[in-house]
Amino acid sequence: MTDRPDKDTIVSSAGRIAPFIHRTPVMTSEILNQHSGNKLFFKCENFQKAGAFKSRGAINAILSLGKEQKIHGVATHSSGNHAQALARAAAIAGTKAYIVMPSTAPKVKVEAVKAYGGLVTFCEPTLSAREETLESVIAQTGAHEIHPYNDYRIMAGQASCFMEMNEQCGPLDVVLCPVGGGGLLSGTALAMHYFSPSSKLIACEPEGADDAFRSFRSGTLIPSGETNTIADGLLTSLGNLTFPVIQELVSDIVTVSDHFIIEAMKLIWSRMKIVVEPSAAVPLAAILQGKIALSGAKIGIILSGGNIDLDKIPWYGTY
Amino acid sequence: MTDRPDKDTIVSSAGRIAPFIHRTPVMTSEILNQHSGNKLFFKCENFQKAGAFKSRGAINAILSLGKEQKIHGVATHSSGNHAQALARAAAIAGTKAYIVMPSTAPKVKVEAVKAYGGLVTFCEPTLSAREETLESVIAQTGAHEIHPYNDYRIMAGQASCFMEMNEQCGPLDVVLCPVGGGGLLSGTALAMHYFSPSSKLIACEPEGADDAFRSFRSGTLIPSGETNTIADGLLTSLGNLTFPVIQELVSDIVTVSDHFIIEAMKLIWSRMKIVVEPSAAVPLAAILQGKIALSGAKIGIILSGGNIDLDKIPWYGTY
């Protein structure tokens, strides 16, 4: 797919992936509504297959491939949810998934990839080592690369999340979406553009990995330098395909501190009784930190995933 | 209500409480199905109002009272979920809730009761102090006592949980239910007797608070002596109203160790992405510990609640 996904592409992607993903529930909480003074609608992608929205884009990308394209498998580098999602999607499509992971990746994530049948190659924990190792794996295997977010097929798959939300919640005033590389954000932006053009989309980003915020404000793609945040799913930088969509269709980007990310995460666990990972708590953190100046609004919040090492819960200070 | 709830009473109780409780979802997990070799259906009472099934019985008991009976409020002693549920139910019914709590009750539970408008009286952390203090509160206020479980109105309210489950899951081969004082278990037993008589009900109890197991096996009500388990919702002993129902209608009672309770709890958090308290994990613990010798069966599991102090998660050894 070489063009930005249009309405038809988004609709047909949603139909194609539907048998392989969950239509996740939307939850509400009276206590959090009172707390925020708004009506909050939480889209629970923590209940998605493989524990995160990434399953949507990964399966869409693989199902987009012709028989010849996928005959030698697919490949990516990822230490996180895309790795698991791609391994699962490849198994469904009957092909191999070569996953390059940093040697520092948590054992629990490596095990999850292997449980889906993913073939793991370890490398040094630097971006250049990851890219070089991936190139070499592709050279050896002939596998087709599927980037975690800078890919229109991924973007079209992630768009299905807001399509469901729109059907489940009715018209929302605002949608809050976490941003890392921008796959979920750009997919959500396109879906909102086509299906709920009067809703506003605000991206929420950790202060310690604020390349999207800086790029958005400056109008130029500025990759992350060093990152420092508990939101391990949001360390990546925007790509040349995701950034223009975000620039055009996102209303604003706000940043939040790790303090509020942890507070938001704990509030979701204790009040809603669901497990979300730090990255998923970033939008509620923006509300808690006073970055979303609204009251009485219908606010959609995308809880992006629930994959967290339960032996490293952040408020125990062991993260 | 002086007679054991019959079918009509259970049906009318369910109708009466429906506007004030959640029809909680039933969740499934492919991974846990594979793990156990059965089809597991988890009834998510952790998502119930006030975080536990106790809201069903509490609101049923209060709605059963005539105007005169509730004019001076209701009273109970409880350090746990019944306290919160009764405080909430009293607020809905427009009356007061006097809650006697041990001085050692976790601050988070005391705050939750107060947040619902409950009036807390503290006492020494012994059963006799709790009972004496409750008597004195009732003498002073004229409040109507609502026992946490040894009460047919409570039993009839808790029965609504299985009625929903039966509609949501279709015929189940077996239902696993945690047992403490036996309110949920006896209510479930009655509902199964009337609505799914061919299903088997197995109660699951912590080894460290096994009065129900010992009473069931000996045929005599044997109260708990000292208790020692992480499942803080299951420390109470069966009552003279709950025991006969259990003796008559429950197929078996099995006990589990705290080791397996913690393992089951962690498995539910990590795989299902939901927060449950230790007591709610006891039925899955019975499966993990090999106490439920079934394969290929449709097994219903009641996840009784999700109220846990997130600063005292058991696998951190700080509990």
Q: State pLDDT tens for residues A157-177.
A: 999 999 999 999 999 999 999
Summarised one tens digit per residue, pLDDT across range A97-126 is: 999 999 988 888 899 999 999 999 999 988
Q: Which residues contact B167 (CB under 8 A, 6 or more apart)?
A: none
B279 part of a folded domain: yes
Show which residues on chain A lie within 8 Å of chain B, measured between beta carbons.
25, 46-47, 51, 266, 269-270, 273-276, 306, 310-311, 313, 315-316
Residue A155 φ/ψ, nearest 5 degrees? -55, -45
Nearest to B79 by CA among B62, B99, B58, B61: B99
Strand duo B26-27 + B39-44: pairing:
antiparallel
The mean per-residue pLDDT over the stretch A47-67 comes to: 97
Between vectors from CA B179 to CA B50 and to CA B307, what angle results, nearest 5°?
A: 25
| Contact between residue B155 and residue B57 where contact means Cβ atoms under 8 Å apart | yes
B188 part of a folded domain: yes
Whole-number Cα distances in Å, B76 to A202, A207, A284, B130: 47, 48, 37, 9
B249 part of a folded domain: yes
Do A273 and B273 count as a contact with CB atoms less than 8 A apart? no
A289 part of a folded domain: yes
Nearest to B255 by CA among B211, B286, B219: B286
Do B315 and A316 count as a contact with CB atoms less than 8 A apart? no
The mean per-residue pLDDT over the stretch A63-81 comes to: 94
C-alpha of A298 from chain center: 22
A1 part of a folded domain: no
Q: Which one has a higher pLDDT value, A274 or B126?
A: A274
The mean per-residue pLDDT over the stretch B204-225 comes to: 96
Give me the domain span that covers residue A177.
Answer: 7-52+151-316
| Contact between residue A181 and residue A236 where contact means Cβ atoms under 8 Å apart | yes
What pLDDT sits at residue A104?
A: 86
What pLDDT sits at residue B42?
A: 98
A2 part of a folded domain: no
Residues B182 and B259 in one domain: yes
The mean per-residue pLDDT over the stretch B304-308 comes to: 96
Number of domains present in the structure of chain A: 2
Between vectors from CA A241 to CA A236 and to CA A243, what angle results, nearest 5°?
A: 65
Residues A268 and A161 in one domain: yes
Whether this prediction's pTM lies above 0.90 is answered by yes
Q: Which residues contact B299 (CB under 8 A, 6 or more apart)?
A: B36, B38, B39, B40, B41, B172, B173, B174, B175, B176, B287, B292
What pLDDT sits at residue A319?
A: 47
Could you tell me the pLDDT band of residue A260, with boundaries at 50, 70 and 90?
A: very high
What pLDDT sits at residue B20?
A: 98
Taking the alpha carbons at both ends of chain A, their separation in whole angstroms is 39
Between vectors from CA B23 to CA A307 and to CA B111, what angle results, nearest 5°?
A: 70
Summarised one tens digit per residue, pLDDT across range A215-229 is: 999 999 999 888 999
Residues B48 and B64 in one domain: no
Residues B41 and B84 in one domain: no
Q: Residue B125 in 3-state DSSP?
A: coil
Res. A318: pLDDT tops 70:
no
Residues A239 and A263 in one domain: yes
The domain boundary, picked from B130, B145, B160, lies at B145
Residues B109 and B125 in one domain: yes
Taking the alpha carbons of A37, A43, A46, A52 in that order, is the dihedral positive or negative? Answer: negative
B2 part of a folded domain: no
Could you tell me the pLDDT band of residue B319, with boundaries at 50, 70 and 90?
A: very low
Residues B211 and B311 in one domain: yes
Show which residues on chain B lie within 8 Å of chain A, measured between beta carbons.
25, 46-47, 51, 266, 269-270, 273-276, 306, 310-311, 313, 315-316
B75 part of a folded domain: yes
Contact pairs from chain A to chain B, CB under 8 Å: 37
Give me the CATH number covering residue B177: 3.40.50.1100
Any idea what DSSP says for residue B27?
A: E
Q: What is the mean pLDDT of chain B?
A: 96
Residues B66 and B135 in one domain: yes
- State how far the Cα of A187 lies from the Cα of A190, in Å rounded to an integer: 5
The mean per-residue pLDDT over the stretch A260-271 comes to: 97
What pLDDT sits at residue A125?
A: 85
Summarised one tens digit per residue, pLDDT across range B230-289 is: 999 999 999 999 999 999 999 999 999 999 999 999 999 999 999 999 999 999 999 999
Residues A197 and A285 in one domain: yes
Res. A72: pLDDT tops 80:
yes
What pLDDT sits at residue B106?
A: 81
Do B275 and A266 count as a contact with CB atoms less than 8 A apart? no
Nearest to B118 by CA among B46, B53, B50: B50
Q: What is the helix (H) or strand (E) element at residue B178, kind and residue range?
A: strand B174-178
Question: Could you tell me what percent of chain A has a pLDDT over 70?
Answer: 99
The mean per-residue pLDDT over the stretch A94-99 comes to: 97
Do A310 and B273 count as a contact with CB atoms less than 8 A apart? no
Residues A35 and A117 in one domain: no
Residues B42 and B115 in one domain: no
> Facing residues of A301 across strands?
A42, A176
The domain boundary, picked from B145, B170, B201, lies at B145
ipTM: 0.95
Residues B183 and B128 in one domain: no
